[in-house]
């Protein structure tokens, strides 16, 4: 059954596209889209808020960044490019250079988001303990000139073991990626019995260049009146990766609060392991069993060619239409990793 794509913008509903690409990536701040229409019959200006629907379900809420209009003997064409609402935070620079000592994550978010247009500030979600006591500010943290709203909120969230990302409806979330649960989707590629195969292509990239067998993190706080000289340095913390094939140490000084070296070491190890294991698949159309492909969902992968049989996190999904038809590109790796 063909996929239904609709663009809602300025009170217009547009459904006829020559091509499109609609991205969603848990680890990319501003998800992009591009749409190409012929003889659109509408006028669209850069800066317009828009919503993209796939099979009558919202897939992206964003802003049009670029409009390319033209024509030839065959008629007029219109090409639009834009990003989701998080793109506004990526582009917006902080106007207040605050000392963040003692400020909570929620209070900081409310202060930095108060002037950002188009967003629903009341819909910001705080998940996975984002409002618990761990929300203590680092002693040295300060907003500096040249930092964007997104950079500050992402850094502040990560120091608490959280991510800052957006949802299809434009809501912002402070939380963690899905760690497990029943898989919503299944990818199958069998040699022995290909009748259930549902992927067009797949590959696995394993890269150990940025992985290590041992991570040693030393905590260091910048000196303030409240910290004694002997309290500036905290003892080193070591975390080992038993899955790494040989001895290869990593060492880093983390200028953070005294409780952070262990969390930092574990996070660094998980990030590098995640980046070193990347599954990529192309599947026909944009849904499976009535569910559009979505990021931050668990998918069970059975791939005899790649010797894979397990549950993985879909962290990137791109809907595409070109001359070959509609299809979806997926990227998967280990669940629960904060980056």
The answer to whether 122 and 65 have CB atoms below 8 angstroms apart is no
- Looking at residue 255, its pLDDT comes to 66
The answer to whether residue 287 sits within a structural domain is yes
Please return the burial class of 159, using the count of CB atoms within 10 Å of its CB with bins 0-12, 13-18 and 19+. Answer: buried
Residues 266 and 283 in one domain: no
Domain final residue, candidates 248, 270, 292? 270
Q: For residue 270, what pLDDT is reported?
A: 96
Last residue of a domain, one of 33, 54, 84: 84
Q: Along the chain (339 residues), what's the average pLDDT of each consecutive run of 10 residues?
A: 91 94 97 91 93 98 96 85 98 90 89 95 90 54 91 90 95 96 97 93 97 90 51 78 97 69 89 97 97 98 97 98 96 96
Residue 58 belongs to a domain: yes
Q: Which two tokens stand for residue 165?
A: 């990302």
Residues 162 and 285 in one domain: no
How many domains does one find in the chain? 4
Q: What is the DSSP annotation of 238-255?
A: EEE-TTSSS--EEEEEE-
Question: Residue 259: which residues within 8 A CB-CB, separation 6 or more?
Answer: none
Quick one: 46 and 59 in the same domain? yes
Is 50 inside any structural domain? yes
Look at residue 230 in the predicted model and tell me its pLDDT.
53
Other CB atoms within a 10 A radius of the CB of residue 21 amount to 16
Q: Is residue 240 part of a domain?
A: yes
Q: What angle do CA 139, 143, 149 make, to 5 degrees?
A: 130
- pTM of the predicted protein model: 0.92
- CATH number (domain holding residue 292): 2.30.300.10
Residues with Cβ within 8 Å of 204's Cβ and at least 6 positions away in sequence, in order, are 277, 278, 279, 280, 303, 306, 308
Within-domain flag for 319 = yes
- How far is residue 249's CA from residue 251's CA, in Å, rounded to a whole number? 7
CB 47 within 8 A of CB 67: no
Q: Which domain holds residue 233?
A: 214-270
Per-residue CA distances from 204 to 16, 163, 281, 309, 332 (Å): 35, 25, 9, 13, 10
Residue 97: give its domain's CATH number. 3.55.50.10
Q: Which of 54, 84, 114 is the last residue of a domain?
A: 84
Examine the domain organization and report whether 69 and 25 are in the same domain. yes
Counted residue by residue, the chain has a size of: 339
159 shares its domain with 292: no
Phi, psi of 270 (to 5 degrees): -65, -40
pLDDT score of 165 = 97
Let me know if 201 is exposed, middle or buried by CB neighbors in 10 A (0-12, 13-18, 19+): exposed
Are both 97 and 223 inside the same structural domain? no
Same domain, 13 and 71: yes
Whether 106 maps to a domain, the answer reads yes
Residues 248, 325 share a domain: no
For residues 202 and 133, membership in a common domain is answered with no
User: Between the CA atoms of 47, 50, 52 and 58, what dihedral angle is there, to the nearest 10 degrees?
Assistant: 130
pLDDT at position 76, please? Answer: 82
151 backbone dihedrals φ, ψ, rounded to 5° = -55, -45
Q: Does residue 303 share a domain with residue 195?
A: yes
Task: State the Cα–Cα distance between residues 52 and 31, nearest whole angstrom.
Answer: 12
User: CA-to-CA distance for 339 and 317, rounded, in angstroms?
Assistant: 17
Backbone conformation region of residue 111, classed left if phi is above 0, alpha if psi is from -120 to 50, else beta? alpha
Residue 338: inside a domain: no
Concatenate the DSSP letters of all residues of 199-231 into one string: -SEEEEEE--TT--SEEEEEEBPPP-TTS-GGG
100 and 170 both lie in a single domain: yes
State how far the Cα of 250 lies from the Cα of 241, in Å rounded to an integer.
11
Measured at the CA of 281, the angle between CA 278 and CA 283, to 5 degrees, comes to 160
Residue 307, domain member (yes or no): yes
Assess whether 317 and 195 both reside in one domain: yes
């Amino acid at each position: 059954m063909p996929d239904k794509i609709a663009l809602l913008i300025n009170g217009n509903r547009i459904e006829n596209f020559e091509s499109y690409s609609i991205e969603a990536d848990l680890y990319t701040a501003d998800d992009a889209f591009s749409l190409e229409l012929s003889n659109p019959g509408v006028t669209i200006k850069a800066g317009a808020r828009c919503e993209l629907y796939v099979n009558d379900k919202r897939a992206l809420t964003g802003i049009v960044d670029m409009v390319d209009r033209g024509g030839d003997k065959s008629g007029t064409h219109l090409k639009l490019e834009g990003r989701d609402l998080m793109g506004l935070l990526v582009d917006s620079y902080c106007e207040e250079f605050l000392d963040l000592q003692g400020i909570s994550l929620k209070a900081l978010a409310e202060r930095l988001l108060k002037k950002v247009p188009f967003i629903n500030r009341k819909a910001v979600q705080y998940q996975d303990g984002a409002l618990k006591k761990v929300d203590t500010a680092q002693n040295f943290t300060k907003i500096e000139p040249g930092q964007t709203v997104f950079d500050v909120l992402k850094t502040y969230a990560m120091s608490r073991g959280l991510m800052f990302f957006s949802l299809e409806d434009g809501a912002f979330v402070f939380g963690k990626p899905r760690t497990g649960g029943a898989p919503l989707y299944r990818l199958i590629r069998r040699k022995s019995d290909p009748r259930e195969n549902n992927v067009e292509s797949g590959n696995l990239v394993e890269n150990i260049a940025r992985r290590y067998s041992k991570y040693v993190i030393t905590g260091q706080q910048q000196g303030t009146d409240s910290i004694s000289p002997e309290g500036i340095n905290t003892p080193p913390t070591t975390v080992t990766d038993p899955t790494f094939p040989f001895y290869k140490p990593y060492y880093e000084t983390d200028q953070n609060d005294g409780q952070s070296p262990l969390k930092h070491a574990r996070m660094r190890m998980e990030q590098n392991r995640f980046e070193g294991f990347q599954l990529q698949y192309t599947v026909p159309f944009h849904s499976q069993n009535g569910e559009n492909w979505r990021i931050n969902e668990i998918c069970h992968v059975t791939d005899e060619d790649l010797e894979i049989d397990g549950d993985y996190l879909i962290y990137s999904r791109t809907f595409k239409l070109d001359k070959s038809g509609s299809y979806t590109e997926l990227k998967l790796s280990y669940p629960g990793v904060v980056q």
